[in-house]
Amino acid sequence: MRKKLCLVLGAVAMLSATPMSAEPRGDEPVAVSRAIKQGIDFVYVDPKMSSVARRKQRPQNWLQRILNPNAARRTGAPNPMFAELSRGLQQYQATWGRLPQDKIPAGPTLKSGSTGKRVALLRTRLGLPPEGGYDEALAQAVSAYQTVHGLWPADGIAGRATIASLNRGATYYARRIAINMERAYRLPQGRAFDRYVVVDSGAAEVYLFDRDRRVDSMRVVVGTPKTKTPMMAVLMRDAKANPYWNVPPELVRSLTAKRINEQGISYLKDFHYEVLSDWGPDARVIDPKTVNWKGIASGKVKPTVRVRQLPGPWNSMRNMKFEMPNDYGIYLHDTPHPELFAEAERHLSNGCVRLEDYRRFASWVFGNVPQPTSQFEQVFPLPRPVPVYMTYLTVAASGNGVIFRPDPYGFDALAMPQMFGTASKTALAPEGTERS
């Protein structure tokens, strides 16, 4: 593991020294290499990010270390999110870890009025006397368990998902907290930066830190389970107002050329696209009628032209794109679909991060909202590069412990054997919404 993590940390040198691919890619993300197992692995893209990362870091057994004050002191000044999860782990162990961990056999849904051996086992499992049936005290205990463990609705009814969760046992959930602590441990230590951004793709939220204090947050839309937003550290250096959206060559072949053949050249005008001669800095706008779209659609002709969507309310990046040079094509941007931020499930993008309020974000990273002087794309350098840490947390600290969230990317399941060995890779029923 040490060797592999050294390679992940050392990958920054390769990414920094190697120019971006000679092949044009457009404005769409690409997948992180399978060699980087993103259960806990973190890619430090920029040399400055690597310089503040813990060298030769190996996964820590936080279940043991957190209860050892001397070991805890040796970690230095941890990130505030790490400290919150550390306290949450101790509270979880004190509240739920102390309870009997007896298994409850599968069977019908248990609810008010239910009786029998399974109800008695459920009462014992949740720290109540076995006698009493499915009374109000048991319903409240089940509801409290559901709230903490992310089982919705937290209605106090013990259906299949609740019983499966109880049967996992507290050790499983303590390990999930420890996995999230390991990710938070990769965030910057105290006083590493004056200001930085944390994008949490697990929660689909972004947090703004000023001198290690969270001063603002907002909802974001992040990658789907098929197009995951990666865990990495980058430097945001500039933003583009009224950005173009450059269509990736593969999409030009598989989508754009196909639509033009079906609908005619008017397709480009209808959807605000223009065609450029190539991907070079001196590319010129050309007449799309001069392009062999049929050949491109068939795959017989390689698309060397550049197709880009003009700035405007229709553009997928809308008003502003915040750039962070990296080989994965990930960036933060505005969106023409603000209605998606009202959704509880916001794992909907191709991997990039859509901001709920780009103006508020721009005001924080710039000190004001840059005002373009043209309807066309303009670049605004940041006064100072801003570190952006993109992580993935499935456990949130709460006032009296933690609250578990879903694992949409499956990173927790991937991290279990990374941190606790292959024996921890146990097939269990999926977590989430309760079902009877």
Contact between residue 354 and residue 340 where contact means Cβ atoms under 8 Å apart: yes
Bridge-based pairing state of the strands 378-391 and 401-404: unpaired
Q: What domain range includes position 270? A: 245-309
Q: Is residue 432 part of a domain?
A: no
**Residue entry with tokens 């040198």:** 13
Least confident of 41-45, 62-66, 232-236, 342-346: 62-66
Residues 436 and 428: their CA atoms lie apart, in Å, by 17
For 126-155, give the DSSP string: TTS-STT-S-HHHHHHHHHHHHHTT-SS--
Q: Which of 375, 123, 115, 368 is nearest to 242 (CA)?
A: 375
* Res 5: pLDDT: 37
Residue 170 or 75, more confident: 170
Q: Is residue 290 part of a domain?
A: yes
Mean pLDDT of the 394-408 span: 95
The pLDDT-based confidence of 292 (bands split at 50, 70, 90) is very high
Q: Is residue 15 part of a domain?
A: no
Residue-level length of the chain: 436
Mean pLDDT of the 249-274 span: 96
Q: Is residue 274 part of a domain?
A: yes
**Residue entry with tokens 């450029």:** 276
Q: How many structural domains is the chain composed of?
A: 1
Q: Of these residues, 6, 149, 337, 352, which one is catalytic?
A: 352
* Res 12: pLDDT: 39
Q: Is the pTM of this model over 0.95?
A: no
For 50-61, give the DSSP string: HHTSPTT-----
Helix pair 80-92, 170-185: axis angle to 10 deg:
170
Q: Is residue 113 part of a domain?
A: no
Residues 175 and 164: their CA atoms lie apart, in Å, by 17
Q: Is residue 70 part of a domain?
A: no
Is 352 in the active site? yes
Mean pLDDT of the 414-434 span: 66
Q: Is residue 45 part of a domain?
A: no
* Res 237: pLDDT: 96
N-term to C-term CA, the chain: 41
Residue 433 CA: distances (Å) to CA of 188, 217, 240: 34, 26, 40
Burial class (CB in 10 A: 0-12, 13-18, 19+), 290: exposed
| pLDDT more than 70, % of the chain | 88
Q: What is the pLDDT of residues 80-103, one digit of tens each?
A: 999 999 999 999 999 999 999 999
Q: Of these residues, 6, 149, 272, 333, which one is catalytic?
A: 333
How many Cβ atoms are within 10 Å of 259's Cβ, its own excluded? 16
Residues 387 and 24: their CA atoms lie apart, in Å, by 26
Cis omega before residue 153 (within 30°)? yes
Q: Is residue 260 part of a domain?
A: yes
Tokens of 409: 């990317």
CA-CA-CA-CA dihedral for 67, 71, 77, 83, to nearest 10: -20
Tokens of 143: 């509801």
Is 149 in the active site? no
Task: Report helix, strand and coil shares of the chain as percent, to nearest 5.
Answer: 35, 20, 45
